[in-house]
Structure 1
């Protein structure tokens, strides 16, 4: 567990192009992502931390860490103790660990709930919530690098929104490469909301803004885009890293802004969809969905990805493209996975750290016969 915690502290996941250490463990030791996340969470609460000044900080659950070192608690017990301690003060850890050493994890959770009730039973009861008149409200606020969205919809609008989100939020299929979908319901619905935004941006009928269809404008130097360094700037001055810009450039309405040596805008190209409808139809006929091994996302949930990156001179053609869902499109741009076309079939080469032989893999989930395209 100490090694897992060390991987987290060193930022190993980002160096390898993965979102977090759990995803690295999933591919490295073939754990399903749920198990990997559990072990990462356990490592984080048990491991000591060394500050940049050399000071050693105690573990979040020091009593539990001692019991684990003695071999008296299993992994499931660690998770149970960590779960109940979220609702308890630090001084309650000792009796919880003592109970855990003699009982199964489910009993530890029940013991924790009972202990929390006894500690907080004198708290005031929550006031009754007064039902508000049905109105539609939306609030958006940037917090750091994320946009926080809060919405309240009436019954009709809410039902429509739920009907659109539900099919997009279903779990990804279980695959040998990635195991079962580890995302919580909230995470799946959040990703579904992002997918819905992508679907709307590809729609033909959208309201105009400033006299032209809704457009996302990013400004950065071509050298930074090609070199995968630096960042682009949105109209609202939010910075976007170059790796994300490269993914957006694969399948979006793009307005190229060429900057001179002093950052003067010397040329502004016209907006054009990188992959026109005719090419996308051919890709749908050939790929029939996301081409990453084991993924079953349908074409409408996919972007068209340049096999040779657009920023590196890759042409916009069916012979230089593959359909990828948003999750796997991001993975391809941020990790050492490679995609190539072999006899017209998108073929994926895993990173060397995952497969030293780098054996090519294809998606056998969709129907065969892609050569027809």
Structure 2
């Protein structure tokens, strides 16, 4: 069937056709968001070894991570939730969901409505959506702000808080699997801390594999703080605890580590899953203590036994930083990773190691990405769902070119 000649249509007919196409596209996008919500509901990210569904979509459909996150966020406010008992709950924005299903609203409209509804009561959704049906997203945001102002203009002004004396305070509290840290520093200490965090918190450069750095400023600074901890652990002069350099000890049964089941016990008696132990066992400043069948110590990996300074120098000379394709993290931000896991008999040697930054070290341990040395060069094999041919990829960020023979 041949394509119609649009030149024969009147302007009104042509414009009407465009509007009809847009409605069809929006209806299709609504169906796609339902599928994305289902991926989120069934835990697809954990199944594929990714941090979240946005990371999967970035690789699967080559979206920038910012775009992928927008789609996931929109899907969440439109999808019906299912309780453990099987009951179906209404979407977070039910009126918006109905309008989107009709093809009346775009993805940008969804984001605008969700944004303004944060400051409005639920009953305000109906007038906001009716306005959105007739106006562009930027106008919806202005309408929502005006509506919120009228609703809240009688609220009392917030009281100014008294300024506390310039002393340093730090509080730490475990909440589930995360350590929550609160700090207040004086000007001098704060400036020093800021100076250490800033260079580590710069956005990662855009790469063909991952696009631009999608992390928010808070996420980048959080990762920078984690990098700062790792840098401290790798430092030549560490603070001492009980007369010995600060280390972290992980204890678990050898068979559990091999089979990636069970958990390891930390110094503070908290537990972490076996899958995470493999990544931590690569790091300097971490001592894995593996127990045999009778709980006797069969192997204690010391810092020099994980990766010695001499091995690390050779890795730095070869990899020149994180070896993952497109990453330009320098060596000081990288861990040495066992290509063949230590728990599976992998040697602690240059030929069984690769430098990886924290982000890509975690990805290698938790996903179907694989790494191997081809002709002495670290090569990364993507998951089959991303590249059915699983063509090896190398990092060109630290060199002019790599030539990988077949």
Shift of 1:21: 0.3
Q: Structure 1: which 4+ aligned runs deviate by more than 2 Å? A: 50-54, 251-262, 264-273, 368-371
Q: Which residue of 2 aligns with 1:85?
A: 117
Q: Which has the higher contact order (CA 8 A, sep 6+)?
A: 1
Using the alignment, how far apart are the partners of 1:369 and 1:45 within structure 2? 45
Shift of 1:260: 4.5
Using the alignment, how far apart are the partners of 2:184 and 2:382 within structure 1? 43
Aligned mate of 1:111, from 123, 140, 143: 143
Using the alignment, how far apart are the partners of 2:290 and 2:199 within structure 1? 40
Using the alignment, how far apart are the partners of 1:321 and 1:289 within structure 2? 13
1:271 correspondence with 2:271 = no
Using the alignment, how far apart are the partners of 2:151 and 2:394 within structure 1? 56
Shift of 1:353: 0.7
Shift of 1:261: 3.6
Equivalent residue runs for 1:63-82 within 5 Å: 63-82=95-114
Using the alignment, how far apart are the partners of 2:131 and 2:240 within structure 1? 63
Using the alignment, how far apart are the partners of 1:266 and 1:250 within structure 2? 19
Deviation track 1:273-302 (CA, whole Å, cap 9, x = no partner) reads 311111111111111111101011111100
Using the alignment, how far apart are the partners of 1:233 and 1:86 within structure 2? 41
Aligned mate of 2:253, from 208, 215, 221: 221
Q: Which residue of 2 aligns with 1:37?
A: 69
8 Å Cα contact 1:282/1:318 also seen in 2: yes
Sort the Cα spacing of 1:249 and 1:368 in 2 relative to 1 into closer, same or farther, 3 A: farther
Aligned mate of 1:311, from 340, 343, 361: 343
1:121 correspondence with 2:153 = yes
Shift of 1:368: 4.5
Shift of 1:229: 1.5
Equivalent residue runs for 1:177-326 within 5 Å: 177-261=209-293, 264-266=295-297, 269=300, 271-273=302-304, 274-326=306-358
Shift of 1:370: 8.5
8 Å Cα contact 1:170/1:188 also seen in 2: yes
What's the RMSD between the two structures over aligned residues?
A: 1.5
Indicate the SS of the match to 1:353.
coil
8 Å Cα contact 2:364/2:370 also seen in 1: yes
Shift of 1:51: 2.2
Q: TM-score, normalised by structure 1?
A: 0.96
Using the alignment, how far apart are the partners of 1:80 and 1:295 within structure 2? 34
8 Å Cα contact 1:349/1:359 also seen in 2: yes
Deviation track 1:210-245 (CA, whole Å, cap 9, x = no partner) reads 221111011111111111122111121221111211
Q: Which residue of 1 aligns with 2:5?
A: none
Q: Which residue of 2 aligns with 1:61?
A: 93
Using the alignment, how far apart are the partners of 2:48 and 2:370 within structure 1? 13
Q: Which residue of 1 aligns with 2:13?
A: none
Deviation track 1:39-90 (CA, whole Å, cap 9, x = no partner) reads 0000010011222322111000000000001111110110111111111111
8 Å Cα contact 2:281/2:287 also seen in 1: no
1:11 correspondence with 2:34 = no
Q: Which residue of 2 aligns with 1:165?
A: 197
8 Å Cα contact 2:246/2:285 also seen in 1: no
Sort the Cα spacing of 1:297 and 1:76 in 2 relative to 1 into closer, same or farther, 3 A: same
Sort the Cα spacing of 1:251 and 1:266 in 2 relative to 1 into closer, same or farther, 3 A: closer
Deviation track 1:17-56 (CA, whole Å, cap 9, x = no partner) reads 0000000000001111000000000001001122232211
1:150 correspondence with 2:150 = no
Q: Which residue of 2 aligns with 1:28?
A: 60
8 Å Cα contact 1:286/1:370 also seen in 2: no
Sort the Cα spacing of 1:61 and 1:253 in 2 relative to 1 into closer, same or farther, 3 A: same
5+ unaligned residues in a row in structure 1: which ranges? none
Q: TM-score, normalised by structure 2?
A: 0.88
Sort the Cα spacing of 1:270 and 1:66 in 2 relative to 1 into closer, same or farther, 3 A: closer
Sort the Cα spacing of 1:176 and 1:256 in 2 relative to 1 into closer, same or farther, 3 A: closer
The higher radius of gyration belongs to 2
